[in-house]
Amino acid sequence: EVQLLESGGGLIQPGGSLRLSCVGSGFTINNDAMSWVRQAPGKGLEWISSISGRTYGTHYADSVKGRFTLSRDISKNMVYLQMNSLRADDTALYYCAKVVRWNQIFDAFDMWGQGTMVTVSS
Amino acid sequence: EILLTQSPGTLSLSPGERATLSCRASQTLDRNSLAWYQQKPGQTPRLLIYDASSRATGIPDRFSGSGSGTDFTLTINRLEPEDFALYYCQQYGSSFSFGPGTKVDI
């Protein structure tokens, strides 16, 4: 089955770090722009970061800029979201998503993973 | 940052009726870069419409999108029981942003 699979979430204390991973299962994501979108419990969707498919250029929402870093490893067909200086308001379900058109970083998302939960609490 | 507002917040309808959901952007969207997603409780968002009016793969033709500039509409003809859900619009013309959502319930 073609799908995106996220991992790496968990319970972390404020100020801590986590690294989320997203792998393309059954297909390659290496040419596609990839993004992370989060959803706090009972809240709406918030885009947080994207990485282009070819140049590996990255973009971040102001809410995470300077704290989160998005990267990719083409040998593993994966993207990583390194999250530092975590705060309580980072608590959310984090989704990995793929764009409709591989060569456009700003595009609609036609495939989403199931998400990985990050809880920031002492 | 482009802000999106959605109206109404909740739409109460019955199966077989038509749903009309609105999304307004704070600035003109380049290339009508607007998408609609459906999300059911405990499920991931599903892309319905992109580029304001193009249906995503596998989406029934009772879902249609229209609009341009700053005003966009998602229309669901002949509501099916499985269509009662939360709907988000998203712009990708200038970075990304999502609207707050419209709940379609019975």
Report pLDDT for A117. Answer: 98
Q: Decide if pLDDT at A92 tops 80.
A: yes
From chain B, pick out residues whose CB is under 8 angstroms from the CB of A106. 33, 92-96
Q: Which chain B residue's Cα is nearest to A109?
A: B47
User: How many angstroms separate the Cα of B70 from the Cα of each of A7, A105, B5, B37?
Assistant: 37, 22, 10, 18
Q: Any bridge partners for residue B59, and if so which?
A: none
A56 touches chain B (CB under 8 A): no
| Average pLDDT across chain B, whole number | 97
Report pLDDT for A70. Answer: 97
A93 touches chain B (CB under 8 A): no
Please state, for a pLDDT cut of 90, what percent of chain B lies above it.
98
From chain A, pick out residues whose CB is under 8 angstroms from the CB of B46. 112
pLDDT tens readout for residues B42-57: 999 999 999 999 999 9
pLDDT tens readout for residues A45-88: 999 999 998 778 999 999 999 999 999 998 899 999 999 999 99
pLDDT tens readout for residues B60-91: 999 999 999 999 999 999 999 999 999 999 99
Closest partner CB to A108 (pick from B92, B95, B97): B92
